[in-house]
């Protein structure tokens, strides 16, 4: 799509797992990667595609992502994609954000989720954390492949 512009809004807190994924996707899509606090709702019209991602907390994306989407006005002809890292990566965790984006008028054109290292609560003390070394090179390659699908879908 000539003249199209992509943006990625990402919250990555504990081990910077999700920002690794955001940067890989951003490189393929030639998209700036920012935090929700740096997103200017007034400039949303500059973008035809926006990716929203974070780690998963209690079965949903981080509250900073959900709060941001809640503030966005109804959109027309705007595409979005969702991504996350999680202890147990299942796209069902994208359900809340997906529903919010659709209600705001976004066409959600893809989802990506992979394992992320987690070492808080009891897991730190009992197991030394879960998913050590994740996201790994395989996860990053899958994120690249996901981004290529998104990029190719925009060429029409």
Give the model confidence (pLDDT) of 59-104 as tens digits: 888 999 999 999 999 999 899 999 998 765 556 788 999 999 999 9
Residue 112 lies in a domain: yes
Residue 92 lies in a domain: yes
pLDDT band for 133, please (50, 70, 90 cuts). low
Residue 82 lies in a domain: yes
pLDDT of residue 114: 80
Task: Inform me whether the pLDDT recorded for 6 exceeds 90.
Answer: yes
Chain Cα centroid distance, residue 50: 9
Residue 1 lies in a domain: no
> Nearest 5°: CA angle at 87, between 86 and 92?
55
Whole-number Cα distances in Å, 146 to 38, 109, 122: 25, 11, 33
Residue 101 lies in a domain: yes
Domain ranges, residue 134: 6-153
Number of domains in the chain: 1
Residue 50 lies in a domain: yes
Residue 55 lies in a domain: yes
- pTM, entire model: 0.86
């Amino acid at each position: 799509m000539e003249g199209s512009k992509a943006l990625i809004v990402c919250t990555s807190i504990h081990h910077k797992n999700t920002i690794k994924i955001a940067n890989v996707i951003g490189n393929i899509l030639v998209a700036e990667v920012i935090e929700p606090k740096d997103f200017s709702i007034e400039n949303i019209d500059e973008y035809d595609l926006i990716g929203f991602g974070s780690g998963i907390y209690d079965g949903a994306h981080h509250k900073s992502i959900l709060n941001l989407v809640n503030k966005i006005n109804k959109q027309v002809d705007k595409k979005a994609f969702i991504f996350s890292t999680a202890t147990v990566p299942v796209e069902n965790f994208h359900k809340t954000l997906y529903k919010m984006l659709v209600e705001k008028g976004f066409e959600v054109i893809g989802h990506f989720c992979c394992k992320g290292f987690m070492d808080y609560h009891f897991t730190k003390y009992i197991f030394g954390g879960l998913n050590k070394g994740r996201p790994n090179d395989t996860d990053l390659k899958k994120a690249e492949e996901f981004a290529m699908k998104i990029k190719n879908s925009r060429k029409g």
